[in-house]
Each structure stands twice: as structure tokens, then as C-alpha cells.
Amino acid sequence: MTIRIALAGAGAFGTKHLDAIGKIDGVRAVSLVGRDLAKTEEVARQYGIGHVTTDLAESLARPDVDAVILCTPTQMHAEQAVQCLRAGKHVQVEIPLADSLADAQAVVDAQKETGRVAMCGHTRRFNPSHQWVHRKVLAGELQVLQMDVQTYFFRRTNTNALGQPRSWTDHLLWHHAAHTVDLFAYQARSPIVRANALQGPIHPVLGIAMDMSIQLQAANGALCTLSLSFNNEGPLGTYFRYIGDSGTYVARYDDLYNGKDEKIDVSAVDVSMNGIELQDREFFAAIREGREPNASAAQVLACYQVLHQLEQQLQAG
């Protein structure tokens, strides 16, 4: 059975998913949704996609669409995910699932009502470097005692990962912190019970905090310290240090090192080194097997509960 995909959002991350789909057997992109019709048509030509529209509802009405991948602006994620589910389509939402707890809960509720697969792109669960650590945890060979994480970008103007102008504003808490908040509980295998946040000045044009510091503690006592910035001029990206009872490991995107800075070969952990591709493979496998995927909307809801608590703290000053 070929799974036929509509992809909404033909920007920087949308093309990453289209590249991934091209490497996965039994999956085909048949519809592309974008804000700018001419640009969307250009991307569709590059990937051989026959149907192009600026209206998600048009794609959802097509009988040849089985599932949807949403790479649209954050503020649209939850409403569009619910729209997809109620149209009878499986849906994968790029991170974050929502920018409020109420909206995240609405997606979970819609999934339960429809019985369709609803997954969120918490890619760190799938990156081979973090998978390698997780397997040691599951095998009882490592207990994570502390995670120290740096998420650093240079975004003093409103641009995307390709340096192109954005039509929406990114957010350190609801987007970038979501990766680490979810990963920490996942790797510690324990729910987060304490959370604290501080933020720097609000940018006068973008209207967001450009610097943030977050502390977390899991029920089993594990700690996480997360530093985030849009003011950092380099190096850019996210760097994870795992301090465990039997070793220290540093993940730099898809590369993994031990505490002595010796590289660990993670190339055989999974069928690809591309986290987006592995994430998409899980989505399609869950559809075929009729099961809940890793990083389902229900599984990641706890992350958004923590983000909600942190937002309330920050708003209270």
C-alpha cells in the first residue's frame, strides 16, 4: 500500500520532509500546500508533485490523500492538525505541537475522537546520537543524572533556517525549549516535577525574549539546565551533554562523543543518519501497523504542560 501524502508548508523544513519521503519506499507526496502559489508550484515541480494549492482544505478534500505533514507556522499547527484529523487524515505536525497547552490538548482530544495517527516532530527522539544514549538507558547500562543543553542561534532579524524572511515569529520557549523539555523526560525516563525559567529583555521589533534560561528536575532526581539564545553569533545549533552514572556523552546534532571527546560511531544505530527521515519512517510505520507512534501527540503532551507552567512563571515576572 502506497501512503499518499499532502505536505503543507513548502519552506525550509517542508523540503527536508520532501527529501526524506523520496528515500522511503511506499510513500509518495501527491499534494503541496503553500502560502505563495508561485513559489509552491516551483517546489512542486522540483519534487514531481502534481497538485498545488494555497488552501489546506482543498488538499484534505482529495480522496488520494491519506496523511498530512504540517510544516506551517507554529501558530497554525494545532488548528490545522485538528482540521486534518477531522477530515479523516493521519497527521504529523512539525515541532511544536502548539503554542499553548489548551491547543495541544485539543489535538490530543481530536486524535482520540478520530482514531487517526497524530504525531509531533520531536526529532531528538529519533536522531541516532540520542537513540544510542536511549538504548543504553533502556538496557540498564546508563542512568542520566544531569543534562546540560545549549540551544544557540543568531536571529536578530525574522529569518528561517535558510536565511530567508519569515512570515511569522519563532519562539525560544514554545519551539526550541520543547525539544529539550521532551528529550529530558524521555531520556531520564521520569516525569518533570519541577521547572523554573528566566528570560532576558523582550526584542523591541520581534516582541520575543532573545535569551532564556530553564532548569528542570525529574521525579527520579535527574537535573537539566537549558540555555537558549537568538543572540549567539556562533557556533550555532544545539549541544547536549549527558552526565550519567556510568559515563558522560556529548551530542552535537548527529555526532556523539564521550567525556574524553572521543567520537562514538552511531552510523549503525538506525537505517539512516537523518533524524527527519527516521521521524517520517516512524509516522508511516505507525499508519501501516495501526499503532501509536513514538512522539505521538498524547506522548508529548506532558512537554507542553511544562512549557505552560514556565510561560506562566515568565508572565508573572
For residue 37, the tally of other CB atoms under 10 A from its CB is: 11
What's the pLDDT at 168? 58
Domain count, the chain: 2
End-of-domain residue from the set 102, 122, 142: 122
Question: Where a domain ends, among 87, 122, 157?
Answer: 122
Kindly state the greatest CA–CA separation across the chain. Answer: 55
Q: Domain boundary at 122, 137, 167, which? A: 122
Residue 133 is assigned to a structural domain of this protein? yes
User: Quick one: 58 and 181 in the same domain?
Assistant: no
Q: Does residue 102 sit in the same domain as residue 131?
A: no
The answer as to whether 200 is a domain residue is yes
The helices-and-strands tally (H runs, E runs) of the chain is 9, 14
Q: In this predicted structure, what is the pLDDT of residue 234?
A: 85
Q: Does some domain include residue 295?
A: no
Which residue range(s) make up the domain with 253?
A: 127-269
Q: If you average pLDDT over residues 59-67, what whole number do you get?
A: 98
Distance CA 17, CA 67 (A): 13
| pLDDT tens digits along 170-185 | 789 999 999 999 999 9
Of 79-83, 91-95, 109-113, 313-317, the one with minimum mean pLDDT is 313-317
Instruction: Round to whole Å and give the CA distance between 104 and 87.
Output: 18
Cα 9 from chain centroid (whole Å):
15
Q: What is the rounded CA–CA span in Å between residue 311 and residue 313?
A: 5
Strand order, beta sheet including 67-70: 51-53, 27-33, 3-8, 67-70, 90-94, 118-121
In this structure, what CATH number is given to the domain that contains residue 225? 3.30.360.10
Closest CA to 312 of 168, 149, 199: 199
Interaxial angle between packed helices 37-47 and 12-21, expressed in degrees from 0 to 180 and rounded to the nearest 10: 20
37 has a pLDDT exceeding 80 = yes
pTM of the model: 0.94
Q: How confident is the model at residue 253 (pLDDT cuts 50, 70, 90)?
A: confident
Say which residue the cell 502560502 belongs to.
35
Residues 107 and 131 in one domain: no
CATH code at 114? 3.40.50.720
Exposed/middle/buried for residue 137 (C-beta within 10 Å: 0-12, 13-18, 19+): middle
| Radius of gyration of the chain from its Cα atoms, rounded to whole angstroms | 19
**Chain segment 148-161, per-residue pLDDT in tens:** 999 998 877 666 55
